[in-house]
Amino acid sequence: MLLPAHRRKKSGRLEVGAVADVIWRGSHDGGDDNYLISGGADKKVVVSDVRMGRPLHSMKGAKDFVYAMACYGDAIFVGTGDGMILCHDLKRGKNSLLWGLGGTSMGAVRALAAVPSQRALVSAGDDGKAVVWKFPA
């Protein structure tokens, strides 16, 4: 199945954006949904319904390339080329940006991992550091 999530028409031409990361969010994660979440060079995070075979909505807010993503419940964390970590609400759709924070002291956030058992998010990037972000209980 092909999900053309990062395509758009510009000046009558079809442009395709590079996809840097994907997440499968399925019923095994505690919900009854089957989503493919993708992020890429077009600075968007696109949520697609796999059963319907089409994008549901795109999440904006990144000012640079989306390099990494992680899911924690209904939160989607996005690591970007300008060193930011953005948090979106999966269920809210287009206006889903909840907050953002500086993820690296320089360069891009290249990797994100959610660790629900530790109530944490781990980020790493061009500054050579791995940071553990703890969530309140």
Per-residue pLDDT band for 109 (boundaries 50, 70, 90) equals: very high
Which tens digit of pLDDT belongs to each residue from 58-103?
A: 888 999 999 999 999 889 999 999 999 999 998 887 778 899 988 7
User: Sign (positive/negative) of CA torsion 52, 77, 90, 42?
Assistant: negative
Other CB atoms within a 10 A radius of the CB of residue 131 amount to 16
DSSP 118: G
| C-alpha to C-alpha distance for 69 and 5, rounded to whole angstroms | 16
Q: Minimal CA–CA distance to 75: which of 43, 29, 110? A: 29
Q: What is the pTM of this model?
A: 0.84
Which tens digit of pLDDT belongs to each residue from 116-133?
A: 999 999 999 999 999 999
| C-alpha to C-alpha distance for 111 and 69, rounded to whole angstroms | 7
Amino acid identity, position 99 = W
User: Sign (positive/negative) of CA torsion 20, 26, 28, 31?
Assistant: positive
The pLDDT, as a whole number, for residue 31 is 56
